[in-house]
């Protein structure tokens, strides 16, 4: 029969997984990095998932499809352990956990209590990580931990090269991790522009390696700041391969090659 059902524009879909938890019937899943309908009979065609998509990739259309089977859909959800637990993205569910909690850390978007505040002996160096996921591509612009955040936007290699990374840079900050060499710079600019524009961001620290390929991160942040129209204090820190760090200010301008001024 011909009926209303969800259609997914895969060109727009980023695989963020927000639509997965927006579907109470479990009709959607992230497969090969894209949202897809698991089975037509699980989709009621009402479009509750549409408002959860930040990319406007979901729409209701009319086409030939099996009738919606509510009983089968609920059984499917039960078998998969509830909405948000089936073939989803790390950002598909919001929970609150402390480090050391059982389960896989990629099971959902989490806000955590850093070890430094969780009765860890002062003689031990604790983790300062306060949320999950941490990759720029996986953090949706409306993630709750972005509000009133001091952002740390760091290159993938920086935590390895910085011996005191957690204590010096991560403590008290919300991290967004990425690689300007291997990832799509345009997508980074778009995502960070949305983050800056949609949230109250207190400050931004860009942490780069001294190698040339990592310098693109500050250019990306500078361009995103300019496009967002937000005036946010921003500092660029450069990590040498021997662990030494130098700092510079970032101007929200895309006119200069790096948009930077030396302190």
pLDDT at res. 142: 86
pLDDT at res. 87: 41
Q: Is the pLDDT of residue 36 over 70?
A: yes
For residue 140, name the pLDDT band (cuts at 50, 70, 90).
Answer: confident
pLDDT at res. 111: 67
For residue 110, name the pLDDT band (cuts at 50, 70, 90).
Answer: low
Q: Is the pLDDT of residue 102 over 60?
A: no
Mean pLDDT of 149-164: 94
Dist. CA 207–CA 161, nearest whole Å: 11
Q: Is the pLDDT of residue 255 over 70?
A: no
SS3 of the chain: the string is CEEEEEEECCCCCCCCCHHHHHCCCCCEEEECCEEEECCHHHCCCCCCCHHHCCCCCEEEEEEECCCCCHHHHHHHHHHCCCCCCCCCCCCCCEEEECCCCCCCCCCCEEEECCHHHCCCCCCCCCCCCCEECCEHHHCCCCCHHHCCEEEEEEECCHHHHCCCHHHHHHCCCEEEEECCCCCCHHHHHHHHHHHHHHCCEEEEEEEEECCHHHCHHHHHHHHHHHHHCCCCCEEEEEECCCCCEEEEEECCCCCCCCCEEEC
Q: Considering the chain, what is the average pLDDT of its residues?
A: 80
Q: Is the pLDDT of residue 84 over 80?
A: no
pLDDT at res. 91: 39
Between these two residues, 96 and 208, which has the higher pLDDT value?
Answer: 208
Q: Is the pLDDT of residue 108 over 70?
A: no
């Amino acid at each position: 029969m011909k009926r209303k059902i969800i259609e997914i524009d895969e060109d727009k879909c980023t695989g963020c997984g927000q639509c997965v938890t927006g579907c109470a019937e479990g009709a959607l899943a992230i497969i090969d990095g894209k949202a897809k309908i698991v089975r037509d009979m699980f989709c009621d065609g009402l479009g509750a998932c549409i408002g959860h998509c930040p990319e406007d990739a979901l729409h209701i259309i009319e086409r030939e499809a099996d009738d919606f089977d509510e009983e089968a859909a609920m059984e499917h959800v039960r078998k998969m352990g509830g909405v948000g637990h089936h073939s989803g993205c790390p950002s598909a569910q919001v929970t609150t956990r402390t480090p050391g909690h059982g389960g896989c850390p990629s099971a959902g978007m989490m806000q955590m209590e850093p070890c430094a505040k969780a009765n860890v002996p002062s003689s031990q160096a604790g983790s300062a990580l306060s949320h999950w996921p941490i990759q720029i591509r996986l953090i949706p612009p409306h993630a709750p931990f972005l509000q009133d955040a001091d952002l740390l936007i760091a290159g993938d290699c920086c935590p390895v090269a910085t011996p005191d990374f957690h204590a010096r840079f991560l403590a008290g900050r919300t991290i967004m991790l990425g690689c300007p060499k291997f990832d799509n710079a345009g997508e980074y600019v778009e995502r960070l522009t949305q983050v800056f524009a949609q949230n109250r961001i207190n400050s931004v620290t860009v942490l780069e390696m001294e190698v040339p390929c990592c310098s693109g991160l500050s250019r990306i942040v500078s361009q995103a700041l300019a496009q967002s129209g937000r005036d946010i204090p921003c500092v660029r820190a450069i990590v040498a391969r021997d662990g030494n760090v130098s700092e510079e200010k970032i101007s929200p301008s895309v006119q200069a090659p790096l948009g930077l001024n030396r302190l």
